[in-house]
Every structure is written in C-alpha cells, then in structure tokens.
Chain A
Amino acid sequence: MTGTKSILVIGGSSDIGHATALRYAREGWRVTLAARDLEAAQRNADDIRTRSGVVTTVQSLDVLQTAQLAGFVAGLSVLPDTVVCVVGELGDQQRAQTDPELATTIMRTNFEAPSLLLEQFAQRFEARGSGTIIGVSSVAGDRGRASNYYYGAAKAGFSQFLSGLRNRLALAGKVRVITVKPGFVRTRMTAHMKLPAHLTVDPDRVAEDIYLADVTRPRDVIYVARRFQLVMTIICALPEAIFKRMRI
C-alpha cells in the first residue's frame, strides 16, 4: 500500500490533470490540485474524492506569476512524493504571429513558468533525497511546424529543460524526472480540432502511462500513444530542405 504517498498536480483543472490525479488516487495517494481556475479544480477534486475516497485538496496557483512560485512551493503543507506539471496552452498560432503579447504568453505558459516551478521542486526533492518530477511536454516540441511553432518551440524548450534536469539529478540518483509527450489527446484544448482517430488517445490513457512510468515500470521519456514515437522519429529524420516544404 502507498496510502501515505501524495501527488501534486499543477494544472489540476485540466482534463489530463484530472485523469492523472484520479489514477494515483485509485492507488491510495493523497491528491492536491493546483490551478488558476479554483472552481474547476474544486469540481475535479470533488470527483476524485468521491470516486476514490482519498483526501483531496485544491490550491490556488497562477504559474505565470513567476515571482510567487518559490513562495508557493515553500508554503505547501506537505512536500509531495510526485509532482506532475500539465500546464500548457496551445494558443492561436496565426494570431500569435501578429500579437507579440499572445506569443509571449504561449511561450511563458509552456516553457518558462513550468520550468521555473519544477526547478523549485527539484531543489526541495534533492534536499529531501526523494521524489519524482513529471513534466507533460508535447510531440509538437520534437520539430517546429508552421501550424504551431510558438507552442512547439516552447514545448521543445520544456523538453530540453526536463532532459537537463534529469541529467543533473540522475548523478545523485535520488530524484527522477519523467518527460511525457502526448500526441493528440481528446481534451478541452483539442475539442475544436479534427483529430486522427488512430493517433488520438483519451486523458485516461495518458494518466495510465504516467502512473506506469512513475510507479510500475520506471521510464525517462514516454510517448502517448506509443506509435507517435515512430511518427516523430520519421518526421525528425526528414532533411530540412524537404521538411520546410511540407504541410504537416
């Protein structure tokens, strides 16, 4: 039994955050959901508590207020065993091309803020000598594409941050860092998009893979769905001279 373990989900109002927290709660983990939209987070927390019977709490957090991140982490009543950051915003690429403020928000939300926040946890986990840091990045960060390069560039940055953090912490061997790269997931973020069915998964599936990679079968980098890894390997192998003319 892991009844005394706890997980903190940053972005707890999101569909993937909800599903991930519920997956851990089913194994008896205590859950804290941090989110800007407290009402949505509370609705998710009520659902998780009702379904699993575990203690579930919510915390207000706006990750873009980066000056407050250190205080947020210092103020936690319990330092969690696992922290999962699912914060992300797709944003409107075309609008971002002419709206620097939006472009900035996309880059800060997907890269700057999650990285600064997880660094705080890294230091405390290191001091404690245990913990798992899970960052939900994206396959969009594997190669820049015309349709979402602000989002993709930020996710690329976040993936590299996680990679570097993992490298740093692996040398001591106490704290693990997991990079999660979901492909298409049926969530609020993608509700308006037409997604290819064979490459699209439900949030439950992402949650299951995260739990597996953390607890059951430790992994460093996971793709959900698995076949996306092959797709991205091929896309990354294309010579730039060809890739730049493609519409994908």
Chain B
Amino acid sequence: MPAAALPGRATASSNPGGIALSGWGNYPKVSTKLLAPRTLAGARDHLLGRSGVVARGAGRAYGDAAIGTHTTISTRGLNRMRSFDAATAQLTVEAGVTIADILAAFGPRGFFLKVVPGTKFVTVGGAIAADVHGKNHHRDGGFGTIVESFRLALPSGEIVTCSRAENAALFMATLGGMGLTGMILEATLRLLPIETAWLRQDTRVAGNLEAAIDLLEGSASATYSVAWIDCLARGAALGRSLVYLAEHATRRDKELLGPELAPFPSPRMSRLSVPELFPGWLLNRASMRAFNELYFRRGAAQQGRPRLVHWDPYFFPLDAIADWNRIYGRRGFVQYQCVIPQARARRVLADILDRVSRRGDASFLAVLKQLGDGDGPMSFPLRGYTLTMDFPVSDPLFGFLDELDALVVDAGGRLYLAKDARQSRATFESGYPRLAALRDIRQQTGADTRLVSHLSARLGI
C-alpha cells in the first residue's frame, strides 16, 4: 500500500526479532531485521537464501529505500580500503567506506572525487545505488561516471564484476538501481587530482527565480553551481536566491586570494550537534525569517568578491551539524526533490515555489541545481532543473505533495528515489520510463522476488 494513503502514520509491519528503522528523514519507521556482517564473505552469506532483503549503507537515504521488507544488511562493517594506484588515481574500496573516509585519506594527498553529493557521510555503495549527483552534474555527470567497476553479490550468491565493458547492462541498471540488482561489495573509483583543497567561490544574488535560473544558465562554464532559495520570499521576490559558483582553486588562485593559507589543511574537526528530540516548534516562521535575512545579507555582502572556501564547508555545509535531521522532531520530515525538464522548468518551478511559499511550512531554504542527462536507466537526473525542499511530516502534508507530484508528472519530470518516502506508483512509473530495464535485470537474476526494500514494494519495482 502506498504510504501516501496513510498520511503521517509511521507504519510498523510485524517482524519478529526486528527493530524499528527509518531513513535520514525519520519517516517512515518500519520494522526490519538488521544484520551487520564484518567481511565481504559474511555479507554474501547473509544474502543467500533470504527474501525481502536489501543492503543499507550509512542510512542517508531519506525515506524507505534502504530498509528491507524483512531483513536489512548493513554494509558499515565493510569499511576497509583495498588499494590505490597513484599512476591511474584508481582507488578500490569496500562498499561501506564513506566519501568522508576517502576525502580524509586522499584530500591531503592532492585528490578529490569528481562527483560528491551534499553530504560526505554516504557510503560508496549507497552513492552508486542512488547514482548521486553533485553541483557539477550538468557538466560532469553523476557518481556513476567515476566508477570504474564494482563487484556485486547476486541473490544466488554469485559474485560478478561489473563495468561499462563487463556485464554492462547490470552495471548500468545498478547505477540508481537502489540496491535492487544485488549487493555492492567493492568498487573501484577514479579520483580527481587537485592542486589545493580550496575552492574559488563567487557568490551572486538573484532577486527572484527567473534571475536565479538565468544566472545558473549563464554560468554553464562554471564547474560547480548551486542556488540556495529563500522559501519565505513571496510575490516579486519569489525564488530569491544566492547563487554559488565555484572552481577548484589552482595554486595560483590560492597565492592570489589567500597566500597565508596552507594548500591542504586538514578537514575541520569541530562539529555542532542537534540535541535529541529538538522541539519542532522552534522552527517557526519568525525564527526562519530572521535566519534567512541574515543569510542573504551575508551572501549579498560577498557578491563580486571571489573568496577561497575549503571543500568541506563548500560541498558539505550541513555536515557541520551532526544529526541535523533531528531538527524536525519526532514525526520526521520528507525531503522533496524533483527534476523538471529544461523547457518547462521556469514555469513549473515558479508554480511549485509559489504553492510552497503560500503554504508556509516548508524548509526555509530550498536548493536549486542544474542537471544534465542521467547515466543509467534508473538514474534520477535528466536535463533540466532540480529543486529540493524539506517538509516536516504532518497529516495535511501528503495531499499537498500529491499536488506537487501532479505538476512534476505533467511537466515530464520525476522524483529522486533516494529522497522518496511517499510517491505513488503512477507518479513513479511516469517519471522513470526506462524502468523495464531494471525489471528485466531483476527477473534474470532472481532479484525481483528476493531483493525487496520497502521502497521497491511500495512502488512495485
């Protein structure tokens, strides 16, 4: 049954010996048995003979993607790096190694990842399964483009190596395949050599959505671009944004803008933390408005003055606040991320933002990014614009999100499965016309009856 039919109710299926598990959004909470193998062989053995099972990385998917209907296999114990070849910049790691691990080890040695999502606390396995994208997708593609190969455990127990040359169909279906093709055990990635750990950031102020999209469109040559939208602005200022453009700073950039800075300082250590059960009422309109005003004034003051920003706060601003998901309180939240094809983006995004701003319970900030064409048949990106917002779970929320879905479907867009906790099958099927490629692969390997997450059961994958 689609969760949308059960507004605001945390469903708990009966599962003896199970624990209540949820994604990063703390919604929905469902019962599952959780296994935590410590070796690749152990992980494969857990897969054997089980049904209703799916792998889970760091639990950073927001909804129900990484929760098996019966059993969930955590890859956190598969956290060893295997080898690095400096000549080819190829790194092989187990699936539970996180992007933070990789950047901590290789950042100081002059390497980065060409594609990073908005948090560094995701695992490599999860990044492949969701084919995550970064602020450069329109130029450089998704996470799959830096994956050389991976080893995948099939439900039969067979372990196959997949790349663009070997088992190519399985490789492509696994990108964005949400763990439904098999369990990723190991992957080989290509790292990106960098001259410094710094980014040369330009901040631009956009007075409304039109201006923001113009800025993003006009900055196609920028490697990284992203717009942070003030969701509380309305009327003529609807969609007012700060647009951040950035390039990896060369040694020369660093000498010009920050000669006193070390080229590769270690990532910051201090982290704030949100206390458990942060009271939801603290997030009221007045406090949000005050925050946004400060935020925009600071951004406007930086306009036209390029500055150096370390990769950590540039790419992962929210990672500085541990457990920020608790800010939405006990009932949790839904992160809504849609992509609208280029041609329809301006009108439809304005419509969505208008409805959201009139409703007034969305996150105070939304993120707008350009995307290019997706890689795998199930990859989320398509050429256009993606908008991301948080909504605290409430009873009326689900009907409202269904309204937004209708706009997205009508525009030929889709929702990101790594964020999804509630879309309907119809919305999903209309958004992913190449779904048959994943279903075919699943039938061939027997994964269709064995690898079943709450997400795949809900959407009929």
Contact = CB atoms under 8 A, between A and B. Distances in A.
Contact of B81 (A40, A46, A188, A191): A46
B83 A46 contact: yes
A97 interface: no
A190 interface: no
Contacts of A49: 83
Interface string B82-114: 111000000111000000010001000100000
A43 B80 CA distance: 7
A47 B38 contact: no
Contacts of A46: 80-83
Contacts of A40: 39
| Chain A at the B interface: SS class | helix
B38 A188 contact: yes
B20 interface: no
Given A43-B80, A44-B80, A50 B91 contact: yes
A46 B38 CA distance: 16
B4 interface: no
B73 to A, nearest CB: 15
Contacts of B83: 46, 49-50
A50 B82 contact: yes
Interface in A147-179: none
Nearest to A46: B82
A52 interface: yes
Question: In the complex, which of the residues A43, A47, A53 has the most CB atoms of chain B within 10 Å of its own CB atom?
Answer: A47
A244 interface: no
A128 interface: no
A47 B80 CA distance: 5
A43 B92 CA distance: 12
Contacts, number: 29
A51 interface: yes
Contacts of B105: 50-52
Contacts of A43: 39, 80
Contacts of A53: 84, 109
B36 A47 contact: no
B109 A47 contact: no
B35 to A, nearest CB: 11
Interface in A27-76: 40, 43-44, 46-47, 49-53
A47 B97 CA distance: 10
A44 B94 CA distance: 12
A33 B38 CA distance: 19
Contacts of A47: 80-82
B36 A191 contact: yes
A34 B38 CA distance: 19
Interface string B7-43: 0000000000000000000000000000010110000
B228 to A, nearest CB: 33
A67 B107 CA distance: 46
Nearest to B101: A51
A191 B93 CA distance: 23
A45 B81 CA distance: 9
Contacts of A52: 105
A117 B308 CA distance: 53
A188 B36 CA distance: 10
Contacts of B39: 40, 43
Question: In the complex, which of the residues A46, A51, A52, A188 has the most CB atoms of chain B within 10 Å of its own CB atom?
Answer: A51
A52 B82 CA distance: 12
A52 B80 CA distance: 12
A188 B84 CA distance: 27
Nearest to A43: B80
A132 to B, nearest CB: 25
Contacts of A191: 36, 38
Nearest to B105: A51
A141 B378 CA distance: 55
A40 B77 CA distance: 13
A38 to B, nearest CB: 14
Contacts of B81: 46-47, 50-51
A61 to B, nearest CB: 20
Contact of A50 (B36, B38, B84): B84
Nearest to A45: B80
A46 B322 CA distance: 30
A107 B91 CA distance: 42
Contacts of B82: 46-47, 50
A188 B82 CA distance: 20
A43 B79 CA distance: 10
Interface string B56-81: 00000000000000000000000011
Contacts of A44: 80
Contacts of B84: 50, 53
A188 B79 CA distance: 14
Contacts of B101: 51
A47 B78 CA distance: 11
Contacts of B93: 50
Interface in A7-36: none
A44 B91 CA distance: 16
A51 B93 CA distance: 10
A52 B105 CA distance: 7
A200 to B, nearest CB: 16
Nearest to A187: B38
A40 B42 CA distance: 12
A43 B91 CA distance: 15
Question: In the complex, which of the residues B39, B105, B109 has the most CB atoms of chain A within 10 Å of its own CB atom?
Answer: B105
Given A44-B80, A46-B81, 19 more contacts: A43-B39, A43-B80, A46-B80, A46-B82, A46-B83, A47-B81, A47-B82, A49-B83, A50-B81, A50-B82, A50-B84, A50-B91, A50-B92, A51-B81, A51-B101, A51-B105, A52-B105, A53-B109, A188-B38
Interface of B: 36, 38-39, 80-84, 91-93, 101, 105, 109
26 contacts: A40-B39, A43-B39, A43-B80, A44-B80, A46-B81, A46-B82, A46-B83, A47-B80, A47-B81, A47-B82, A50-B81, A50-B83, A50-B84, A50-B91, A50-B92, A50-B93, A50-B105, A51-B81, A51-B101, A51-B105, A52-B105, A53-B84, A53-B109, A188-B38, A191-B36, A191-B38
Of all A-B residue pairs in the complex, the 4 with the closest CB atoms, nearest first, are: A50-B81, A47-B80, A51-B105, A47-B81
